[in-house]
Amino acid sequence: MSAHIATKKLYVGIWAALMVLTVVTATVSRIDLGAASAAVALIIATTKALLVVLFFMGVKYVSQKMTIVVIVSGVFFLGILLVLSMADYGSRAFK
Amino acid sequence: MEQQRESAELGMWLFLITEIMFFGGMFCAYMVYRYMYPMAWEAGSEQMDFWFGTINTVVLICSSLTMALAVRSAQVGQRKALVILLIITMLFGCVFMGIKGVEYYGHWTEHQFPGPNFQFAGPDAQHVQIFFFLYWAMTGLHALHMLIGIIVVGFIAYWSWRGKYGADYYNPVENTGLYWHFVDMVWIYLYPLLYLISHKHAG
């Protein structure tokens, strides 16, 4: 069994999607969305990151399940870092 | 051989996880300070050059495409395409670094480097300075990764030209690709978090 080889067409398609999302996030940033603007920017950035990870980095086609475990746990660690830090600082106003 | 390739891929991902935590600490500091001083973050973001940031985002996305195609060329054993695509990827990386350099020079002459020479006319100057500290630290660490990436891709291009890689062995090409895409992904987050905070941004 050898590694999955994606088509050139797929890579160009992902590139086009990333370009479109860049234009979308740049355009949306000029509109005053108030508190929602950060959330919108992060949702678009995460969509772009997922496209990069799944297709350019080939995680969608990874054959070794251990690699998936490592990637998911890494993202989970990052989540612990960010969520628990924010839970601390965000709750300091409550006395 | 396939098991060896999978192991190399797993090892590379373990390294990338340490990189995620490395950058993650900075993103965490960014998040906490932005929560504490949202106005300073908006004021700082308005000092960013929208077009430099946007063009660099486009440059990096293009470099990721050529990198992905380079790895594919290695997989199917097209040596000439592999070398050319790696060189194009390096050139995109150099364009990114050039634009970043011009941008850094502008911030430097505008006294936007944190330290004794830092100057900011608006209110909240001390907190805007924290924004600029994180701006320089995060983009600086990213730029260092870009520099390392360009050098590594250069070596891989040389060895590809020497015929070291082919359809049956291309682990170093694949892992360099993973690194390059990872660095691109960090920028995908840095771009909206640094350049696009305020809807009043220039450009």
Q: What is the pLDDT along chain B (203 residues), one digit of tens a residue?
A: 788 999 999 999 999 999 999 999 999 999 999 999 999 999 999 999 999 999 999 999 999 999 999 999 999 999 999 999 999 999 999 999 999 999 999 999 999 999 999 999 888 899 999 999 999 999 999 999 999 999 999 999 999 999 999 999 999 999 999 999 999 999 999 999 999 998 876 55
Q: Do A18 and B189 lie within an 8 Å CB cutoff?
A: no
The predicted pLDDT at position B202 comes to 56
Q: Do A45 and B76 lie within an 8 Å CB cutoff?
A: no
Instruction: Measure the CA–CA gap between B93 and B62, rounded to whole angstroms.
Output: 10
| Residue of chain A nearest B70, judged by CA positions | A8
B65 touching A (Cβ < 8 Å): yes
* Weakly modelled stretches of chain A, pLDDT under 50: 1
Give residue-wise pLDDT tens across range B91-103: 999 999 999 999 9
pTM value is 0.95
Instruction: Measure the CA–CA gap between B91 and B93, rounded to whole angstroms.
Output: 5
The predicted pLDDT at position B203 comes to 52
Residue of A11, A18, A67 lying closest to B9 (CB–CB): A67
| Residue of chain A nearest B19, judged by CA positions | A74
Query: Please, which residues have CB within 8 angstroms of residue A56's CB and are 6 or more apart in sequence?
Result: A11, A14, B64, B65, B67, B68, B177, B181, B184
Side-chain half-sphere CA neighbours of B62 within 13 A: 16
Q: Do A82 and B185 lie within an 8 Å CB cutoff?
A: no
The predicted pLDDT at position B201 comes to 67
CATH number, domain B2-195: 1.20.120.80
Q: Do B189 and A49 lie within an 8 Å CB cutoff?
A: yes
Q: Do B184 and A70 lie within an 8 Å CB cutoff?
A: no
Q: Do A49 and B67 lie within an 8 Å CB cutoff?
A: no
| Residue B33 structure tokens | 């300070």
All residues of chain B having their beta carbon less than 8 Å from the beta carbon of residue A69 are none
Instruction: Measure the CA–CA gap between B172 and B157, rounded to whole angstroms.
Output: 11
The predicted pLDDT at position A2 comes to 58
The residues in B 5-44 lying below 8 A from A, measured between CB atoms, are 5-7, 9-10, 13-14, 16-17, 20-21, 24-25, 27-28, 31-32, 35-36
The predicted pLDDT at position A1 comes to 40
Q: Do A89 and B13 lie within an 8 Å CB cutoff?
A: no
